[in-house]
């Protein structure tokens, strides 16, 4: 950062921001060290699962498909038995939870030993996130902070796909106005986790970006066709009949379940407050409709907004719009926080720290039957919205800060 930018933010603020980042980094590293403390069965003493956690599903599912046993993915008991035969009889229940198109991504990873594949997955998806947020033109230190945010550490700890989906979502949103074909390609790939892309069609329709819509539709169709060609087209009806029903049952299970520890949605907040499933869906529907209205306004050609802020607000709202989301899906929120720290002269560091650390400690709320974690992404969006109008007319100094 330049000397000018140091004077725009007091040295005290910069030192405190550095302390916030380093504290999150230390906690993230400690979480990972604890995760890799294994028992005699090879399971983590913390999670009681393999240290690769959810990555086990991606790797093993693709491995089964390669071995000609794709049908196990749609038979919960058969799948669990296959995983225990692969790893350890002590492995807890796991489920294949993805659309079959995720197998296309898992195939090259399944050719590697799982430990190496997990490393390639973690580093590779982080590299994609790096490429996706480069158009934000953040100062190097803040760019690195976004790549090493608490949400990123939680994502890596779970072996999840949050860095990949964040890269596809943010990258597509940033590219949409000037590179619609690329944006549509990224959005089409995001159909491997469709609940994260609920808001995308409304953004593209509101902005009249028909080229991106065509590109996204073509990419999604080709991905679905390639999946059917590779593994048999029966995987798609099996997915809708078996996997989707299983994941709906998991989502609608009474609160709390062990897997609710990192759940972050309006649906879960309502369930934690005692709402029935139907009432929780009504609350979620209301939140989804509000999110849609916000992004439609943001993406209207007449809206006087800065595109980078528009894209980041939309990405942060993605978890508000879905009933099925977890802390590893809050990476876009942390990227938005990093960006807003860069372009805000006097950010409230106390509020910033609370939101920044949230993915690390959300489980403490849920384990105490307080599933109100979704209020944090909502608060971040509410904080950003008044700062988006007219920001398109702001000028940026060489290091990316508002002049």
Q: Single out the residue of 208, 385, 400, 202 nearest to residue 305, CA to CA.
A: 385
Give 57-84 pLDDT, tens digit per residue: 999 999 999 999 999 999 999 999 999 9
For 129, half-sphere exposure in the C-beta direction (CA atoms, 13 angstrom radius) is 28
Residue 396 vs residue 94, higher pLDDT: 94
DSSP character string of 1-62: --HHHHHHS-HHHHHHHHHHHHHHHHHHHHHHHHHT-B-TTS-BTTTSS-TTTTHHHHHHHH
Check pLDDT > 90 for residue 118: yes
Cα–Cα distance for residue pair 241/237, rounded to 1 Å:
6
Give 306-338 pLDDT, tens digit per residue: 999 999 999 999 999 999 999 999 999 999 999
C-alpha separations of 230 from 36, 65, 104, 222, 248 in Å: 35, 9, 9, 12, 27
Buried b (16+ CB within 10 A) or exposed e, 73-94: bbebeebbebbeeebeeebeeb
pLDDT of residue 344: 86
Place of tokens 């998806």: 125
| 3-class secondary-structure state, position 139 | coil
Query: What residues contact 99, with CB distance under 8 A and at least 6 apart?
Result: 191, 192, 193, 194, 239, 243
Dihedrals phi, psi of 13, to nearest 5 degrees: -65, -40
Check pLDDT > 50 for residue 394: no
Query: Could you give the percent of the chain with pLDDT greater than 90?
Result: 85
pLDDT bin (cut points 50, 70, 90) of residue 10 is low
| Confidence (pTM) | 0.94
Q: Single out the residue of 89, 94, 182, 164 nearest to residue 126, CA to CA.
A: 164
pLDDT of residue 301: 93
**Where in the chain are the domains?**
3-393
Cα–Cα distance for residue pair 161/98, rounded to 1 Å:
11
Residue 262 vs residue 403, higher pLDDT: 262
- Average pLDDT (132-144) is 95
Give 247-290 pLDDT, tens digit per residue: 999 999 998 898 899 999 999 999 999 999 999 999 999 999 99
Report which DSSP code applies to 396.
B
Residue 394 vs residue 201, higher pLDDT: 201
């Amino acid at each position: 950062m330049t000397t000018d930018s140091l004077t725009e933010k007091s040295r005290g603020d910069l030192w405190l921001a550095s302390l916030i980042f380093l504290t999150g980094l230390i906690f993230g590293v400690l979480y990972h060290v604890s995760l890799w403390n294994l028992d005699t069965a090879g399971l983590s003493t913390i999670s009681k699962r393999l240290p690769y956690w959810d990555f086990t599903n991606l790797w093993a599912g693709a491995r089964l498909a390669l071995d000609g046993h794709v049908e196990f993915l749609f038979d919960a008991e058969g799948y669990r038995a296959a995983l225990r035969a692969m790893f350890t009889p002590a492995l807890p229940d796991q489920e294949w939870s993805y659309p079959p198109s995720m197998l296309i991504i898992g195939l090259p990873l399944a050719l590697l030993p799982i430990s190496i594949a997990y490393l390639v997955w973690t580093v590779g998806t982080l590299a994609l996130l790096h490429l996706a947020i480069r158009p934000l033109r953040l100062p190097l230190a803040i760019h690195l902070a976004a790549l090493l945010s608490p949400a990123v550490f939680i994502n890596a700890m779970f072996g999840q796909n949050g860095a990949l989906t964040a890269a596809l979502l943010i990258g597509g949103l940033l590219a949409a106005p000037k590179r619609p074909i690329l944006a549509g390609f990224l959005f089409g790939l995001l159909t491997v986790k469709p609940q994260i892309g609920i808001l995308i069609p409304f953004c593209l329709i509101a902005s009249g970006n028909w080229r991106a819509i065509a590109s996204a539709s073509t990419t999604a169709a080709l991905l679905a066709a390639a999946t059917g060609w590779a593994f048999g087209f029966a995987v798609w009806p099996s997915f809708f009949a078996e996997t989707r029903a299983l994941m709906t049952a998991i989502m609608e299970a009474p609160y709390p379940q062990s897997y609710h520890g990192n759940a972050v949605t309006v649906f879960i907040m309502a369930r934690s407050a005692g709402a029935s499933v139907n009432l929780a869906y009504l609350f979620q529907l209301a939140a989804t409709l509000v999110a849609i209205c916000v992004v439609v306004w943001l993406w209207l050609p007449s809206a006087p907004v800065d595109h980078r802020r528009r894209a980041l607000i939309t990405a942060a709202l993605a978890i508000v719009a879905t009933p099925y989301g977890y802390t590893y899906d809050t990476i876009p929120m942390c990227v938005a926080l990093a960006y807003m720290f860069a372009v805000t002269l006097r950010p409230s560091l106390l509020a910033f720290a609370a939101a920044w650390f949230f993915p690390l400690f959300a489980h403490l709320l849920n384990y105490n039957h307080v599933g109100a974690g979704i209020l944090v992404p909502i608060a971040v969006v509410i904080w950003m919205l008044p700062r988006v109008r007219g920001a398109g007319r702001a000028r940026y100094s060489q290091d990316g800060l508002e002049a």
